[in-house]
Structure 1
Amino acid sequence: MRLDIQNVEQSFGSLRVLDGVSATIGEGSLVGLVGPNGAGKTTLLRTITGGLSPAAGTVSAGDAAVHDLSSRAASRRIAVVPQETTISFDFTVRDVVEMGRHPHQARFGADPDPDIVTEAMERTEVAQFAERSITAVSGGERKRVLLARALAQDAPILLLDEPTAGLDVNHQIRTLDLVRDLVSEGRTALAAIHDLDLAARYCDELLVLSDGGVLAYGPPDEVLTTDTLRAAFDARTAVSENPVTGSPAVTPLSERADERPETVHVLGGGGTAAPLVRRLADAGFRVTVGPVVEGDADHRAARALAADCVTVEPFAGVAGDAYDAAGRLVADADATVVASDALGLGRNRELLAGHVLVAGDRTALDAPHVAAERVAAAVREGEPCRPGAASARTD
């Protein structure tokens, strides 16, 4: 069943919380709802369910406007896993899951499909404590019980507000695997997820809310850009490809990056530049890189940090335009950093001649503040030194 959100507005007093939110979520798709705290994610979910009436706009589940339906009718179309898991009454776990069947029961009639409750508990792995009091299970277990209740509701649209909050890493993956299974069976799902890496891995599309409006909506690799993340979260990030899942991976970076005016060039090869690039960027320097081999670990680190980078094809060697471009980056930098075991690679020694050098092994610049201190010291000395000179080395 398709979920249509059209120009939805929501206000609390004079505070506008949702401002013209529109999105269409097709049947059999999982959309991640992401954004900073206070962006309006929970308010949007509550408005979709009919728990809040929109100040303007419409929400449709299939061919019906949600706010024109009775509560029971809306619940047959939309099931919710809330963020808050507290249940004050001493119900058993089975009792709580059975509550999901309420929209399908006549006032004094029996459940037409009681086996759904057992199946829901088995799929969410809560059947083993079915007779335990809901007040006696952990917060993570309660989250899974509420997911089981939503499954028992057997609605074609599933809304989840932080479904992995409070879960250990194993159950985070199991929960989202289950949601993906439900989507593959034809359900439509919208899930508010704070973990951007998990959202990118599991969701077909991401809807980014910021200041109550839609900042971006589309596939994760199109939405999760450094510019969008800066606009939404006011955060400096690096976005790369997870080598295992192939999905975007977001790494938050220190905001100290705007505090240092110096540019540091990193020479590398064979993956030696990647850790130095990350530490120097996190220390607040503007970083340039190269020459490095196209597609290797050094290149991926530079690309993730949006650093200016000179690349060469594998086995091509460093010559011509690539050598000249790398030479210009070295000349323009306030200091050049190279790992000790990369000094002899390619034409690194030639590129370094006559320029400030900070040399280190893979752990020599093992923290951003160490990287900052060593590079700053080299720049302060201000006397160019050659790679072989003892005074140039800091490892």
Structure 2
Amino acid sequence: MISVAYALRDVGLRMGAAAILDDISIEIPYGRVLALVGPNGAGKSSLLGILTGELAATTGDVTLDGRALGAWSTGDLSRARSVLLQSNQVAFSFTAAEVVEMGRAPWAGHGDPGDDDRVIRDALERTDVTHLAARPFPSLSGGEKARVSLARVLAQDTRVVMLDEPTAALDLRHQEDVLLIARDLAAGGRAVVVVLHDLSLAAAYADDIAIVHQGRLVALGSPGVVLTRERVEEVYRTPVRVLEDPDTGRPVILPRRVQ
């Protein structure tokens, strides 16, 4: 397998007169978890949109597996990368199991149809939603919808997985579960990109962290190198403490609060 999934070179994105992204260069390898972090409006979701192919870079080059992203057909791309968006909406009253089954749509006519049931069952189990399989999707809580939507992404069974704020609606246990799934996917050779606001979660589970600020990539590297107090305070414009997790040795970022 090619070691680098995505390669971005001098990528920029403009919308009208506004520069959304500027001069982004980054390689995203297989077998690792990359966390995209940064303040609101920094350009994280736009960068994810470039990677998914939903947005076209105004300048620069984007390749997936060494091939220009624009040269990929819709079908081939949907079998190469999957995306969990922040919105977990479904237009009709499908059951949770039917929503997860939608993740297999790109594989119709490709591969062994006998794999579908196994992949769907595994996705339901990994996201702890097997007991919700027969429930109408609209009847689920926000956290349950998020986990079913993640199961749909897992059922798509792609070599690149992109997750936009996958923990936002989840309780403490399921936040940890989702990031453990991300780590497991990377351990299996997949490239995983996760957009997160929780810096401590990013530090705990990501191999690499990319900080995006004002449309630019300001830091890229391991959590301990990237998440310094000085850098976090400069980017987020708030005082923080950066501690060391006694179990993992990874950074834990806490806001400094004055009583």
- TM (norm. structure 2) is 0.94
- Per the alignment, residue 253 of structure 2 pairs with 250
Other-structure match for 1:95: 98
Following TM superposition, by how much is the alpha carbon of 1:245 offset from its aligned partner in structure 2, in angstroms? 2.8
Deviation (angstroms), 1:110: 8.3
Give, in whole Å, the separation in 2 of the partners of 1:159 and 1:21: 18
Determine the C-alpha separation between the residues in 1 that align with 2:239 and 2:149.
35
- Post-superposition Cα deviations, 1:189-217, rounded to whole Å, max 9, x if no partner, equal 01001110110000001000000000100
Q: Check if 1:70 corresponds to 2:67.
A: no
Aligned to 2:51: 48
- Paired position in structure 2 for 1:113: 115
What residue number does 1:153 align with? 156
- 2:208 is matched with which residue: 205, 210, 215? 205
Q: Which residue of 2 aligns with 1:171?
A: 174
Structure showing greater relative contact order (alpha-carbon pairs closer than 8 Å, 6 or more residues apart): 2
Matched with 2:33 is 30
Cα separation, 2, equivalents of 1:110 and 1:30 = 29
Q: Distance in 2 between matches of 1:113 and 1:67?
A: 29
> In structure 2, what is the equivalent of residue 267 of structure 1?
none
User: What code does the residue aligned with 1:74 have?
Assistant: L
Q: What SS class does the counterpart of residue 4 from structure 1 fall into?
A: strand
SS of residue paired to 2:150 = helix
Q: Choose which of 39, 60, 63 in structure 2 pairs with 1:57.
A: 60
Give the letter aligned to residue 150 of structure 1.
V
Q: Deviations over 1:213-236 (max 9, x none)?
A: 001000001101122112211122
Provide the residue aligned with 1:229 in structure 2. 232
- Go from structure 1 to structure 2 and tell me whether the alpha carbon gap of 1:172 and 1:230 turns closer, same or farther (over 3 Å shift): same
Q: Distance in 1 between matches of 2:113 and 2:96?
A: 18
Match of 2:42 among 39, 43, 46: 39
Aligned-pair CA distance for 1:112 = 5.2
Max Rg structure:
1
Corresponding residue for residue 131 of structure 1:
134
CA distance in 2, matches of 1:251, 1:184: 29
Equivalent runs, 1:339-354 vs 2, <5 Å? none
Aligned residues: 255
Instruction: Tell me if structure 2 keeps the 8 A contact 1:30–1:203.
Output: yes
Matched residue SS, 2:8 = strand
Amino acid at match of 2:104: R
Structure 1 Cα separation of the partners of residues 136 and 59 of structure 2: 42
Name the SS of the counterpart of 2:158 in structure 1.
coil
Conserved? CA contact 1:105–1:112, under 8 Å: no
Give me the whole-angstrom Cα distance separating, in 2, the residues matched to 1:112 and 1:11.
Answer: 45
SS at match of 1:160: strand
Matched AA of 1:176: L
- TM-score calculated relative to the size of structure 1: 0.62
**Residues 215-294 of structure 1 aligned to structure 2 (within 5 Å):** 215-254=218-257, 282=258
Of 140, 145, 157, the match for 1:142: 145
Match of 1:338 in 2: none
Question: Runs of at least 4 residues of structure 1 off by over 6 A?
Answer: none
Q: Any idea what the Cα deviations from partners look like across 1:39-68, whole Å, max 9, x if unmatched? A: 011111111111111111222221322221
For structure 1, which runs of at least 5 residues remain unmatched after alignment?
A: 255-281, 283-367, 369-395
Provide the rounded CA distance (Å) in 2 between the counterparts of 1:37 and 1:80.
Answer: 20
